Amino acid sequence: MFMKPMLMTRYEKPFDDENYIFEPIIDGHRLQLSFMASKAKLYTRHFNEITQQYPELHNVPLRKPADVVLDGEVAYVNPHTGAIEFDTLQERFRLKKQPRIRDARHTTPVKFFVFDILFYNGVDLRDTPLLERKRLLNVILEDNAYYKKMLFVDTNGRALFDLVKRSDLEGVACKRKDSVYAEGRGDSWLKVKNDEYGILPMADTH
C-alpha cells in the first residue's frame, strides 16, 4: 500500500507558534514503509519500490503485531561521529547487487527517522489531526538500531532552528498540530532551510 506523500512548502525564517510542532530536517531521502501481514515494502516519494535496498528495515519494531504505513526519512548516521552523511547514503541507494547490499547492511546500516503514521490496522489516518497521529505512533513503535521516532518540539521553532544550525543540520520542519495528511504541497507543513548547510539534495528527497 502506497499513499501519495504530503510535502513541505519553503518558508523564509524560523518562528514560534503554539499551533505548530517543529522537527529537525534530516538530510536523507523520503521513505514510506508499508507493513502488511508482517511483510515490509519500501517506497520513495515517487512510488519507486526499493524494498530490497534496505534489508535492515524489514523487521519493524512494533510493540504488538499490526498493519501500518509509516512515513519518514532514511539516512546514514556515522556511528563514530554522529554526523549524518548524505554521500554515504547515496552510495547505499545506488547499490544494485544483492551480495553488496547484504554486506552494506552491516558496514553502513541506515536509520529510518519516522515522523508520521498514515494507516493502522485497517484505518486510514490521513484525516486524523497530526498530533493525534504522533501520539499513536509513539504508542505503537519502539526505537531500535534502525528505527527512530522523529523528535519534535512544541511552539519553540526558533530555539530548535538555532540548535539545528549549531548541529549543522539541514533545517526545520514546521507542522500545524491540527493538519490532516494531504497529498502534495500546502501551507500546513513548512520548511525553513539552514542556508549554511550546503549539501545538495538527491532526486527523491523530501
pLDDT by residue for the chain (206 residues), tens digit each? Answer: 999 999 999 999 999 999 999 999 999 999 999 999 999 999 999 999 999 999 999 999 999 999 999 999 999 999 998 889 999 999 999 999 999 999 999 999 999 999 999 999 999 999 999 999 999 999 999 999 999 999 999 999 999 999 999 988 999 999 999 999 999 999 999 999 998 875 444 444 45
- 130: closest CA among 114, 120, 151, 115? 115
Sketch the domain layout of the chain as residue ranges. Answer: 6-193
For the stretch 19-78, pLDDT in tens is: 999 999 999 999 999 999 999 999 999 999 999 999 999 999 999 999 999 999 999 999
Neighbours of 154 (CB within 10 A): 13
Q: Is the dihedral of CA 43, 119, 127, 170 positive or negative?
A: negative
Fold for domain 6-193? Answer: D-amino Acid Aminotransferase; Chain A, domain 1 (3.30.470)
Distance CA 76, CA 98 (A): 19
Residues 6+ apart with CB under 8 A from 188: 175, 176, 179, 180, 182
Cell 523564509, located at residue: 12
Cell 484525516, located at residue: 127
Distance CA 62, CA 78 (A): 25
From the number of C-beta atoms within 10 Å of its C-beta (0-12, 13-18, 19+), residue 35 rates as buried
Q: Are strands 6-10 and 184-193 parallel, antiparallel or unpaired?
A: parallel
- Tell me if residue 65 falls in helix, strand or coil: coil
Q: Which three cell numbers stand for residue 81?
A: 561521529
Distance CA 117, CA 133 (A): 6
